[in-house]
């Protein structure tokens, strides 16, 4: 029970990686505030409470400062502290060349993936500084490390997440607060299947097979494999790690040709 007596806040917690991480924190003893704009998070939180965990859900749009302030306040009202923050909500945007990208889609992707992460940091870090302790994990992506033709707004947003992570880590490091990022590769959630479907609609031949072939392990990661990295970075075992990014990608960025040259 690495997080007994700790409070964790997780955004994008109604589905996918956020939901799995919320479950992981709760099962390791944390009290968890699940945050999402999708009210389906109410049922997800209820399911965890039925397992005996102290979990609440707060509906919020991470792009709205008032909503962010309100979810931080909700965690403090309930439990008086925030020790771990998984700043994770994100959207993928549309798969098309940059010259076809709609301005509104670019704005939406940057709003959720960059401004949402910024606002989370802006409102949670003062709490952690006052406590003299805390650990944040921002969700970037392997798209934060390399380009991806057809996904320029998403790639730009995830590279910005790494910039925010490294800069702010240096600002709070002497106050007991660590800020890191995870860079998942393709992982089994709604998002990767949306990207596959969009690529297929644009005429790509079996994108799922092509994506998997570019991963040395030959498969997508599982949400539980991302959760394991998030919990590690939030735990005492990572006490010397800040401003870092951790790839959990089956070897994809290390070896982008996958197993093709074997
Ligand atoms: N699945 C992958 O292959 C993959 C790979 C790399 C990075 N990521 C990143 O992981 C994170 C989680 O994605 P996922 O795969 O779980 O996708 P997902 O679509 O299953 O989950 C994303 C969650 O974020 C929520 N959300 C979206 N916009 C929001 C907003 N404005 N306010 C509050 N909540 C909002 C959604 O309702 C949803 O519950 C994202 O940041 C994504 O970019 C995913």
CATH code (residue 217) = 3.40.50.720
Task: Kindly report, residue by residue over 35-86, the tens digit of the pLDDT.
Answer: 999 999 999 999 999 999 999 999 999 999 999 999 999 999 999 999 999 9
Q: Is residue 31 domain-resident?
A: yes
Residue 228 reports pLDDT greater than 90: yes
Query: H or E segment at 166?
Result: helix 152-172
Model confidence at 258, in pLDDT bands (50, 70, 90)? confident
Model confidence at 259, in pLDDT bands (50, 70, 90)? confident
Question: Residues, the chain, total?
Answer: 262
Per annotation, catalytic residue among 71, 154, 211, 220: 154
Residue 256: per-residue pLDDT? 85
Q: Is the CB of 38 under 6 A from ligand 1?
A: yes
Residue 192: per-residue pLDDT? 96
CA of 199 to the centre of ligand 1 (A): 18
Torsion of CA 141, 107, 114, 31, to 10 degrees: -90
Average pLDDT over residues 114-125: 99
Average pLDDT over residues 84-98: 98
Average pLDDT over residues 143-169: 98
Average pLDDT over residues 111-118: 99
211 annotated active-site: no
Q: Is residue 256 domain-resident?
A: no
Residue 1: per-residue pLDDT? 81
Query: Are 184 and 226 within 8 A, CB to CB?
Result: yes
Model confidence at 254, in pLDDT bands (50, 70, 90)? very high
Residue 67 CA, closest ligand 1 atom number: 32
Q: Is residue 258 domain-resident?
A: no
CA–CA dist 58, 37 (Å, integer): 8
> How many angstroms separate the Cα of 16 from the Cα of each of 10, 35, 89?
12, 13, 10
Task: Kindly report, residue by residue over 172-226, the tens digit of the pLDDT.
Answer: 999 999 999 999 999 999 999 999 999 999 998 999 999 999 999 999 999 999 9
Q: Is residue 261 domain-resident?
A: no
Q: Is residue 135 domain-resident?
A: yes
The mean pLDDT value of the chain amounts to: 97
CA of 262 to the centre of ligand 1 (A): 34
Q: Is the CB of 192 under 6 A from ligand 1?
A: yes
Average pLDDT over residues 134-160: 98
Question: What is the share, in percent, of the chain residues with pLDDT greater than 90?
Answer: 95
Q: Is residue 106 domain-resident?
A: yes
| 192 burial type by CB count under 10 A (0-12 exposed, 13-18 middle, 19+ buried) | buried
Q: Is residue 227 domain-resident?
A: yes
Question: Which domain range does residue 29 map to?
Answer: 7-248
| CB-CB neighbours of 219 under 10 Å | 11
| Residue of 137, 135, 21 whose CA lies nearest to 82 | 135
Residue 153's contacts (CB-CB under 8 Å, 6 or more residues apart) are 93, 94, 101, 105, 106, 109, 110
Q: Atom 19 (ligand 1): residue with closest C-alpha? A: 191
Q: Whole-model pTM?
A: 0.98
What does DSSP assign to residue 1?
-
CA of 36 to the centre of ligand 1 (A): 10
| 203 burial type by CB count under 10 A (0-12 exposed, 13-18 middle, 19+ buried) | exposed
Q: Is residue 257 domain-resident?
A: no
Q: How many domains does the chain have?
A: 1
CA of 113 to the centre of ligand 1 (A): 9
Residue 131 reports pLDDT greater than 90: yes
């Amino acid at each position: 029970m690495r997080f007994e007596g700790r409070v964790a806040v997780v955004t994008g917690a109604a589905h996918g990686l956020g939901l799995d991480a919320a479950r992981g924190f709760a099962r390791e003893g944390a009290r968890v505030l699940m945050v999402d704009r999708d009210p389906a998070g109410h049922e997800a939180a209820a399911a965890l409470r039925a397992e005996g965990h102290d979990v609440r859900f707060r509906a919020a749009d991470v792009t709205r400062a008032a909503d962010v302030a309100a979810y931080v306040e909700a965690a403090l009202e309930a439990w008086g502290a925030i020790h771990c923050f998984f700043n994770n909500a994100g959207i993928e945007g549309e798969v098309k060349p940059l010259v076809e990208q709609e301005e509104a889609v670019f704005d939406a992707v940057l709003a959720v993936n960059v401004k949402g992460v910024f606002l989370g940091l802006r409102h949670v870090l003062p709490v952690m500084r006052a406590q003299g302790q805390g650990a944040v994990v921002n969700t970037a992506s392997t798209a934060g490390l390399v380009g991806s033709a057809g996904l320029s707004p998403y790639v730009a947003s995830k590279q910005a997440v790494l910039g925010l992570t490294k800069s702010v880590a240096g600002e709070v490091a002497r106050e007991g607060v660590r800020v890191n990022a995870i860079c998942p590769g393709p992982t089994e959630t709604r998002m990767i299947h949306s990207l596959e479907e969009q690529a297929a609609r644009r005429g790509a031949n079996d994108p799922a097979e092509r994506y998997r072939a570019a991963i040395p392990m030959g498969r997508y990661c599982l949400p539980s494999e991302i959760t394991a990295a998030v919990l590690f970075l939030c735990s005492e075992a990572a006490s010397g790690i800040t401003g870092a990014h951790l790839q959990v990608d089956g070897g994809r960025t290390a070896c982008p040709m996958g197993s093709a040259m074997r």
